[in-house]
């Protein structure tokens, strides 16, 4: 199985400030078709996870452009340019390169 | 607008079989453009992929659960079902169904989840 490792575990943030979450995979998520099979989800308190980013760096429908992803291969960083109160929750990265699909352990983002 | 709704017993006894249904509206489980996946989340913990079904018959399961899990589709009811046999307390979780692409990939629609507790 591909192991997904996220850091930090918890991230206190100040509204208006940037934030970064790291995700590392135990093997490259770059497919031979040129796509990178890593996705990002946000699980807001009491809700189901919602898709933020797919195929490496593509924002899902309705996701603000303050969310972006950098990195390639095995190392990825989700960046929030200016955190807003509605961004609190647990962020998960997930690899979709091969089954079983696996998730990172999650990063809890909370307002200071 | 696609909506997914999980349903089933909130409590199952140890060693019995957990059975859940995901009712899809605003889309068809027969649509070859999508796959349908079950994911679970133990209380306070992270997400675990259980398996998926595509084209109402092609399935793949997490090897950690393969011997106990079955995912099926009922086209007439537009539903996806999950059966997990020989449950233990470790199977206590919120169970989600989600829609994905025909091949492996992202989940763009999720149900609200249903909590199943394994307890006698």
Q: Does A92 lie at the interface with B, CB-CB under 8 angstroms? A: yes
Structure-token pair, residue A48: 């189901």
Beta strand B48-54 with B58-61 is: antiparallel
Cα-based angle B53, B5, B29 (whole degrees, multiple of 5): 35
The answer to whether the Cβ–Cβ distance between A96 and B112 falls below 8 Å is no
**Residues A57-85 pLDDT 10s:** 999 999 999 999 999 999 999 999 999 99
Residue B102's pLDDT is 86
- Rounded Cα distance between A99 and A34, Å, is 18
Tell me what the mean pLDDT of segment B36-55 comes to: 96
pLDDT at B76: 95
Q: Which whole number is the average pLDDT over B48-69?
A: 96
What would the DSSP string read from start to end of B24-47? EESS-TT-TT-EEEEEEE-TTS--
pLDDT tens profile A45-61: 999 999 999 999 999 99
Is the pLDDT reported for residue B58 higher than 90? Answer: yes
B84-104 confidence digits (pLDDT tens): 999 999 999 999 999 999 888
Interface mutation target, options A60, A94, A101, chain B, most CBs of B under 10 Å: A101
Q: Which residue on chain A is closest to B101 by alpha carbon?
A: A96
CA distance A101 to chain B (A): 6
Going by pLDDT thresholds of 50, 70 and 90, the confidence category of residue A43 is: very high
- For residue A50, the chain B residues in CB contact (below 8 A) are 110
Indicate whether A30 pLDDT > 90. Answer: yes
d(CA A62, CA A92): 18
pLDDT given for residue B104 in this prediction: 87
């Amino acid at each position: 199985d591909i192991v997904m490792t996220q850091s930090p575990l918890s991230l206190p943030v100040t509204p208006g400030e940037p934030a970064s979450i790291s995700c590392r995979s135990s093997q490259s998520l770059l497919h031979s078709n040129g796509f990178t099979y890593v996705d990002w989800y946000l699980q807001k308190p009491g809700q189901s996870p919602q898709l933020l980013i797919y195929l490496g760096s593509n924002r899902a429908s309705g996701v603000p452009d303050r969310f972006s992803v950098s990195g390639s291969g095995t190392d990825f960083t989700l960046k929030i340019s200016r955190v807003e109160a509605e961004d609190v929750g647990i962020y998960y990265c997930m690899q979709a390169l091969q089954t079983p699909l696996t998730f990172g352990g999650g990063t809890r983002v909370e307002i200071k | 607008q696609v909506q997914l709704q999980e349903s089933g017993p909130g409590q199952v006894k140890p060693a019995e079989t957990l059975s859940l249904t995901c009712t899809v509206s605003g889309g068809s489980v027969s649509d070859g453009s999508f796959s349908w996946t079950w994911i679970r989340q133990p209380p306070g913990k992270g997400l675990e992929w259980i398996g998926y079904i595509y084209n109402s018959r092609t399935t793949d399961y997490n090897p950690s659960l393969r011997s106990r899990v079955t995912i099926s589709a009922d086209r007439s009811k537009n539903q996806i079902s999950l059966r997990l046999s020989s449950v233990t307390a470790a199977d206590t979780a919120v169970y989600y169904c989600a829609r994905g692409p025909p091949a492996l990939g992202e989940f763009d629609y999720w149900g609200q989840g249903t909590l199943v507790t394994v307890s006698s």
